[in-house]
Structure 1
Amino acid sequence: MLMPVVHLNFKPLQDLLLKKSEANLLLAGLELKIFTNLATYHSAEEIAEKLHLHTENTGHFLNALVACDLTCKCEELFWNSPIANEFLVEGKETYLGDYLLSCDPWYTISPELLCRFLREGPSASESQVEMRSGEFWEMQTRGSINYQRSGMAQIIVDLVSSIPEYENFTKILDLGCGPGLYGIALVLDNPNLQGVLFDQPPVAAVAKRNAEDYGVSDRITVMSGDYLNDPIGEGYDLILASMTLNFALGSFNSMMNKVFDALNPGGVFVAISDGRTHDGTKPADMIIPMLLPALMGQNMAINEDFIANAMLDAGFYKVRSKPVQTPVGEVECTIGKKK
């Protein structure tokens, strides 16, 4: 009996399992506050004593974090890598620990759950979009404050400020604003701007506090409601909708008409979306996190060019789309102008 002829290396398959382990190391480090305590140099023994952990296993764990490039080691001392120090230390404005922990259920679906959905499909209750309490949405919104200001808001400012008419904008709307940092960042960047932040009431309350914290409450108006059914204001030079139009899929044309009507002549609409390819396979950064709701019968993905075509149908012109690289992966930015 001869050995088989092997044409490929199975390392990519092994790497998939290693990625899962690396993610678990990150999450455990956050849960145990390892990174917060490695903002300064410490030995494994010092970390174990401070956090009441098993000394020998703490050393093994810290070595594994070094292997993942999350921490550094010299002789017997450990400290955070630059990216861990930037985003994983509690108390910093850029701390993303809570955000990453909240993302985990969407990224790591158990094999058992996947098999159940594939064999049985979604149940009737799972296929209904669950309406959460106001307290839930407020908690989720507060958790996304650092997410928005840890690179995303800066990307939004770069995108919007590249629009030729930007210097002449005077009134903007951040539609489905979440914690409102995108609209706030634009107002901070352009002294001519007055901003409106719009989201459902518990979310808008968080955005209002953020406007106060950033000292722009005199230039920011916060509106609350359901943007699908309630008035969103008018007289805008720019309307921004970032990763929110998925909720409008059931009434997209009417939503697009509402946005068009709310803009001044010459106004600009900027929409950021997942931009899934028509065959439903790319970009992976968007496909994988949206797999669980899709399996539950809540497919809310927006395909590439979908928003561009809807803009054209609503009367926008000079419509263009482009991919944009962000910390959460590639997204599609679609820009249209009202005559």
Structure 2
Amino acid sequence: MTYLDLYIQIDKYLESKLFFQVVEMKIFDYFHHSTTKEKVAQEMKISIKRLEPLLRVLIKLGWVEKDNEKLINNEKVDKFLYSKSSYYIGEILIIKKELLDFEHIGNLLNGEESKSKRIYDFDRMLDVGAKEIEYFRVDTLIKEAAQLFESESVKSILDLGGGSGLFALELALLYPEAQVRLFDRRSVLDRAKSYIKKRVPLDRLDYQEGDFISDDFGKDYDLIIASGIIDFAYNDVKAFLRKLKDGIASNGYIFLYSASLLKDDALINRELRWLSGRLRSNLVTVSKEEIEHGLEDAGLEVVKKTEDLLYPIWILRRI
């Protein structure tokens, strides 16, 4: 690492800080349509002189594009960060930042924040997680499931720790003959029921309350979705994977989603995102090696490694 590399860290920090402040202020709303700096200054009720330094940075970073004197959002910025877009994820990014952030690493190392802050706010994440699934994850799930099963052959599906229930809902729509079960904590299921009811109420959706580590969630499923839950089995990964294996039919499949399955060069991103949670609660994340050993012990094999836009997916079946 050179001296220049050290200063680049400052630039990255400032760029990130600016990004979140601009998103929180919904600055990109002013550039949804082609506009001018004079009009934006007027709408923001500030002087052009004060606006110009910010504009120069937004343009240099590529977030806003300039054509002569006209200004407009970059195409992707407009799709995801214009607050009235149907794909708007600004709220998701802000909430995730709040949940994963740490103000002072020294306080965390000394355990000073652990009693005053929640480790992981499942209720807030449930609200934004549904949007993430809809925008970035459902298409891959549907494509991979459709390649494995004929529509009429699927009779039973389990969405384990299913959160908003969007995976369960989409699979129920894909497989009209299937009974689909959503298994999670009561508070999560209540929110999921409300969310699904607003979209497409289905009698074939079954809700079961419980703890997927300690409680029985049934057997003979054609497909089990286990998304982002294996870290909660850190005390005994092998036992949890055996439980998953016992839950599928002889020709069934498991879709295992986990950031632990990331390629080695991407694992640093996971470590950064989990750092505050680990320090606040001694939270343990399961390693890829533990999962691989657990699969061997459980008698499961990986038939395909793929990924959606957010998470790696290993598709598993009985050996």
TM-score range, shorter chain: 0.7 to 0.9
Q: Does 2:305 correspond to 1:322?
A: yes
Q: Does 2:106 correspond to 1:126?
A: no
Q: CA deviation at 1:10?
A: 5.0
**In the alignment, residue 111 of structure 2 is paired with which amino acid?**
S
In structure 2, the partner of 1:114 is: 105
Alignment of 1:93-242 (within 5 A): 93-105=86-98, 109-110=102-103, 113-117=104-108, 121-123=109-111, 126=114, 137-163=122-148, 168-242=153-227
Q: How many residues align?
A: 319
In structure 2, the partner of 1:289 is: 273
Of 39-48 and 237-246, more deviation after overlay is shown by 39-48
Q: Deviations over 1:214-257 (max 9, x none)?
A: 32523322333322233323331111111122122124344333
In structure 2, the partner of 1:57 is: 50
Q: CA deviation at 1:44?
A: 2.8
Measure the CA separation in 2 of the matches of 1:277 and 1:250: 21
- Are the counterparts in 2 of residues 35 and 89 from structure 1 also a CA contact under 8 Å? yes
Measure the CA separation in 1 of the matches of 2:116 and 2:155: 40
- Are the counterparts in 2 of residues 154 and 185 from structure 1 also a CA contact under 8 Å? no
Measure the CA separation in 2 of the matches of 1:9 and 1:292: 28
Which residues of structure 2 form unaligned runs of 5+? none
Q: 1:107 to 1:208 in 2, by over 3 A?
A: closer
Which secondary structure does the structure 1 equivalent of 2:216 belong to? Answer: coil
Q: 1:229 to 1:320 in 2, by over 3 A?
A: same
**In the alignment, residue 23 of structure 1 is paired with which amino acid?**
S
In structure 1, the partner of 2:260 is: 275
**In the alignment, residue 114 of structure 2 is paired with which amino acid?**
E
Q: Deviations over 1:39-83 (max 9, x none)?
A: 222223333333444543333223322222222122333222111
Percent identical pairs in the alignment equals: 21
Q: 1:252 to 1:48 in 2, by over 3 A?
A: same
Which residues of structure 1 form unaligned runs of 5+? 1-7
Which of 11, 22, 38 is residue 31 of structure 2 equivalent to?
38
Q: CA deviation at 1:271?
A: 0.9
TM-score, with length taken from structure 1:
0.80
**In the alignment, residue 289 of structure 1 is paired with which amino acid?**
R
**In the alignment, residue 319 of structure 1 is paired with which amino acid?**
V
Measure the CA separation in 2 of the matches of 1:129 and 1:166: 46
**In the alignment, residue 57 of structure 1 is paired with which amino acid?**
R
Measure the CA separation in 2 of the matches of 1:244 and 1:93: 28
**In the alignment, residue 240 of structure 1 is paired with which amino acid?**
I
Taking only aligned residues, the RMSD between alpha carbons, in angstroms, comes to: 3.3
Q: CA deviation at 1:166?
A: 7.5
Q: CA deviation at 1:16?
A: 2.8
